[in-house]
A and B are shown apart, each in its own frame.
Chain A
């Protein structure tokens, strides 16, 4: 008779793990479907990818409009150079790859071929920040820091499927290049519960609160809202300001919220260097507010591989860690 031993199941990393909570309402491939819808209304819209169509939801577009989809192979310099060339002929390209490859590998092509001539090319970056447990090769923890220095480029860090669905047609309609930090696959649907619409270049106050003000972007707005609910149980009243457009930044809306006696916290799925925190800090200093701002962000280091929930907990992006940080700050 053999002895059966059961080992505890290990949490494993997956390239494209969803960060949705168990049971959370989600929407499938919002970017792909939104792009098809936009393209059906505007024949100038085309889609390109660099061998990552299936992993950036571009495959939805490729299937729906195959004659307007262009596979460029695993060649990111060609992807963005060609996107520029297509825009020069009057088309509106959406070109997708992972954020790491757009930001690190193809920067020169984005900068000189797309941003300098101010072309309407929309760069779609998958796996922004810490949305894969695959390790530093695929974790674009510094993409916004890299891109914020690029003139003409609009940077959008959407929270959820609502943001993405509403952003896509606005990105197509806006002159000049944009960078979208893509959330793909089964994307949480969060902002439909609020009186909210995405407006390119605008920050929105999602909820008011007397003790703390959160300024957040990307998936951290979802966490900010969850943490605000959790903090209510501690009798802490939290406001949440969502800033999906990182550049150009809606300083007016954010500074109006920060220029109060409340504890100010920024929350971002990005390194603490060069992202939302420093964007807000710059706005605060420029306005002469003299206001302390507490960052919740990824540390300035190459991150571990592993399961996303483990890593979000480890690096302070989980709701529990946010709540603990705020309570500690409030003393």
Chain B
């Protein structure tokens, strides 16, 4: 498998930069929130929306679209940023995030937002729905894929593993899961809340084609997707990309801050965040 071209990687890195920028815009509206998760997952979301998904921005319900399910409802801030990057949600609408009557509520809901396939938030739901979508699409002869985004915290939920078994049993080669392993959940570090490791071995033992990558390395993410594309149709095996990410990625001020599920950022810090984000992106863009 040839490595992703530098041009492709640069294109996705640029998308990830804009997604991070949009996430900061939304975070500033609230003064706090799940900005750390959005920054950490931005490369994953960029790879999905700018490289992988087939969709029509002007017709989010187009039948032939690939489905991207956000199981972690609180990552909506990152998902809205990706939907803006994809042209499905207007960039100018992002500043309504979390406000009364906004189409962009704090937790992602399908009934509110164009392009939002499911209402996540009660964790451990997304992969079960993804199994049904993959079955339904296959039954109806659709070539569309289903990508479910989940978090390492969701590996606590038994339903995730019910779905993992179901996807393998039903040979859902049209299903890919992406797990954001940022090692953080509401009450603290994942390994102190409920140890989920060894994660790779768990997914492998459930019959999934399993890859573990640096989820902030765009080239590695694209290569993982390429590996799946090269084999899944023949194998009928569901795929998972386990993505180790860094909370606050791209903004050193937040990367080095004590990790918190719900991050508080002072009023004067937002501009610093933006400047650090841009400096980091431009400084390494040609690296």
The residue of chain A having its C-beta at the shortest distance from the C-beta of B69 within the complex is: A85
Query: Is the Cβ of B125 less than 8 Å from the Cβ of A46?
Result: no
Q: Does A149 contact B (CB under 8 A)?
A: no
Query: Is the Cβ of B139 less than 8 Å from the Cβ of A46?
Result: yes
Query: Is the Cβ of B135 less than 8 Å from the Cβ of A85?
Result: yes
A132-164 CB mask vs B (1 if < 8 Å, else 0) is: 000000000000000000000000000000000
Query: Is the Cβ of B122 less than 8 Å from the Cβ of A83?
Result: no
Known: A72-B166, A116-B111, A116-B119. A81 touches B125 (CB 8 A): yes
Q: Does A279 contact B (CB under 8 A)?
A: no
Partner of A78, one of B110, B118, B122, B162: B162
The stretch among B9-17, B19-27, B36-44, B126-134 that forms the contact with chain A is B126-134
A70-82 CB mask vs B (1 if < 8 Å, else 0) is: 1011010110111
Query: Is the Cβ of A85 less than 8 Å from the Cβ of B159?
Result: no
The residue of chain B having its C-beta at the shortest distance from the C-beta of A81 within the complex is: B128
Query: Is the Cβ of B135 less than 8 Å from the Cβ of A78?
Result: no
The stretch among A86-94, A178-186, A216-224, A268-276 that forms the contact with chain B is A86-94
Interface centre among A68, A72, A108, A109 (most CB of B within 10 A): A72
Query: Is the Cβ of B125 less than 8 Å from the Cβ of A109?
Result: yes
Query: Is the Cβ of A88 less than 8 Å from the Cβ of B111?
Result: no
Interface centre among A75, A80, A82, A86 (most CB of B within 10 A): A82
CB distance from B149 to the nearest CB of A (A): 15
Q: Does A327 contact B (CB under 8 A)?
A: no
Q: Does B124 contact A (CB under 8 A)?
A: yes
Chain A residues positioned under 8 Å from B130 (CB to CB): 85
Chain A residues positioned under 8 Å from B189 (CB to CB): none
Partner of A82, one of B111, B117, B129: B129
Q: Does B228 contact A (CB under 8 A)?
A: no
Query: Is the Cβ of A109 less than 8 Å from the Cβ of B110?
Result: no
Chain B residues positioned under 8 Å from A116 (CB to CB): 109, 111, 119
Number of CB contacts from chain A to chain B under 8 A: 106
Query: Is the Cβ of A86 less than 8 Å from the Cβ of B118?
Result: no
The residue of chain A having its C-beta at the shortest distance from the C-beta of B121 within the complex is: A112
Known: A116-B119, A117-B110, A117-B111. A78 touches B133 (CB 8 A): no
Q: Does B223 contact A (CB under 8 A)?
A: no
Chain A residues positioned under 8 Å from B170 (CB to CB): 70
Q: Does A29 contact B (CB under 8 A)?
A: no
Known: A85-B129, A88-B132, A112-B119. A77 touches B140 (CB 8 A): no
Chain A residues positioned under 8 Å from B158 (CB to CB): 77
Query: Is the Cβ of B119 less than 8 Å from the Cβ of A82?
Result: no
The residue of chain A having its C-beta at the shortest distance from the C-beta of B73 within the complex is: A112
CB distance from A118 to the nearest CB of B (A): 8
Q: Does A113 contact B (CB under 8 A)?
A: yes
Q: Does B106 contact A (CB under 8 A)?
A: no
Chain B residues positioned under 8 Å from A73 (CB to CB): 162, 165-166, 169
Query: Is the Cβ of B124 less than 8 Å from the Cβ of A113?
Result: no
Q: Does A167 contact B (CB under 8 A)?
A: no
CB distance from B18 to the nearest CB of A (A): 29
Partner of B140, one of A72, A87, A90, A117: A90
The residue of chain A having its C-beta at the shortest distance from the C-beta of B126 within the complex is: A81
Q: Does B137 contact A (CB under 8 A)?
A: yes
Known: A46-B139, A81-B159, A117-B111. A88 touches B117 (CB 8 A): yes
| Cα–Cα distance between A77 and B128 once the two chains are bound (Å) | 7
Q: Does A84 contact B (CB under 8 A)?
A: yes
Chain B residues positioned under 8 Å from A77 (CB to CB): 124, 128, 158-159, 162-163
Chain B residues positioned under 8 Å from A68 (CB to CB): 139
| Cα–Cα distance between A90 and B61 once the two chains are bound (Å) | 12
Chain A residues positioned under 8 Å from B159 (CB to CB): 75, 77-78, 81, 109
Query: Is the Cβ of B122 less than 8 Å from the Cβ of A82?
Result: no
| Cα–Cα distance between A68 and B162 once the two chains are bound (Å) | 21
Q: Does B90 contact A (CB under 8 A)?
A: no
| Cα–Cα distance between A32 and B166 once the two chains are bound (Å) | 24
B132-158 CB mask vs A (1 if < 8 Å, else 0) is: 111111011010000000000000001
Chain A residues positioned under 8 Å from B140 (CB to CB): 89-91
The residue of chain A having its C-beta at the shortest distance from the C-beta of B124 within the complex is: A77
Known: A73-B169, A113-B125, A117-B110. A78 touches B136 (CB 8 A): no
Give A contacts to B, CB under 8 Å.
46, 67-68, 70, 72-73, 75, 77-78, 80-91, 93, 108-109, 112-113, 116-117
New A-B pairs, 14, CB < 8 Å, besides A77-B162, A81-B131, A109-B125: A75-B159, A77-B128, A77-B158, A78-B131, A78-B163, A81-B129, A82-B129, A83-B132, A84-B128, A85-B133, A88-B67, A88-B117, A88-B132, A117-B111
Between-chain CB contacts (< 8 Å), 14 pairs: A46-B139, A73-B162, A75-B159, A75-B163, A85-B132, A85-B134, A86-B132, A86-B139, A88-B117, A89-B137, A108-B125, A112-B121, A113-B128, A117-B110
